């Protein structure tokens, strides 16, 4: 989201990035806090939707004028947070319900470790993508 920039917005680039990050985290908070309202068993749909949305946001950076404004990016950031938080929260809730009690501590440890490895890998990919886009376009001018 750091590469998204809307020159017509009254907010400077740093404030736009902070706003999108705040809205993403708000979406994560809401979806993780709403497990009593909405429980999902099959999480592949959330993962697929998150990959599609992330791909769209990446394309929006590549094609500078793909998003009409900061408001649309904000809605997409909330959606990305809802999807990611929903998959994470429902994944652990399903694990707690489906894994027998004696195996739960090991199962939670393994899933937590794998989640952290995946997050670190995604961070590495993001660093590489950011560097590639920095050479391709200047996010502050769009050229």
Domain ranges of the chain: 13-136
| Angle at the Cα of 130 from the Cα atoms of 121 and 19, rounded to 5 degrees | 95
- Reported pTM: 0.84
Whether 47 contacts 88, CB under 8 Å: no
Q: Over the stretch 81-122, which tens digit does the pLDDT of each residue have?
A: 999 999 999 999 999 999 999 999 999 999 999 999 999 998
What phi and psi values does residue 62 have, to the nearest 5 degrees? -65, -45
* pLDDT attached to residue 140: 53
Q: Over the stretch 65-76, which tens digit does the pLDDT of each residue have?
A: 788 899 999 999
Q: Over the stretch 29-60, which tens digit does the pLDDT of each residue have?
A: 999 999 889 899 999 999 999 999 988 988 88
DSSP state of 103: G
* pLDDT attached to residue 59: 86
* Residue 3 confidence (pLDDT) above 90: no
| Angle at the Cα of 125 from the Cα atoms of 48 and 62, rounded to 5 degrees | 75
Rounded CA-CA distance 137/76 in Å is 22
**% the chain with pLDDT above 90:** 65
Q: How many CB atoms lie within 10 A of CB 128?
A: 10
Whether 91 contacts 45, CB under 8 Å: no
Whether 99 contacts 106, CB under 8 Å: no
Whether 66 contacts 59, CB under 8 Å: yes
Query: Which H or E element spans position 118?
Result: helix 104-136
Whether 125 contacts 55, CB under 8 Å: no
* Residue 143 confidence (pLDDT) above 60: no
* pLDDT attached to residue 7: 87
Categorise residue 142: left if φ over 0, alpha if ψ from -120 to 50, beta otherwise.
Answer: left
* pLDDT attached to residue 139: 52
């Amino acid at each position: 989201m750091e590469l998204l920039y809307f020159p017509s917005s009254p907010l400077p680039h740093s404030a736009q990035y902070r706003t999108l990050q705040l809205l993403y985290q708000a979406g994560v908070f809401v979806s993780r806090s709403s497990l009593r309202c909405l429980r999902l068993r099959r999480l592949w749909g959330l993962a697929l939707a998150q990959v599609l949305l992330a791909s769209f946001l990446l394309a929006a950076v590549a094609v500078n004028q793909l998003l009409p404004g900061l408001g649309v990016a904000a809605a997409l950031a909330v959606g990305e947070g809802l999807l990611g938080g929903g998959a994470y929260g429902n994944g652990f809730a399903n694990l707690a319900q489906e894994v027998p009690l004696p195996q739960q501590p090991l199962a939670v440890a393994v899933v937590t470790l794998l989640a952290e490895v995946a997050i670190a890998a995604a961070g590495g990919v993001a660093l590489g993508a950011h560097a590639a886009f920095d050479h391709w376009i200047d996010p502050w001018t769009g050229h």
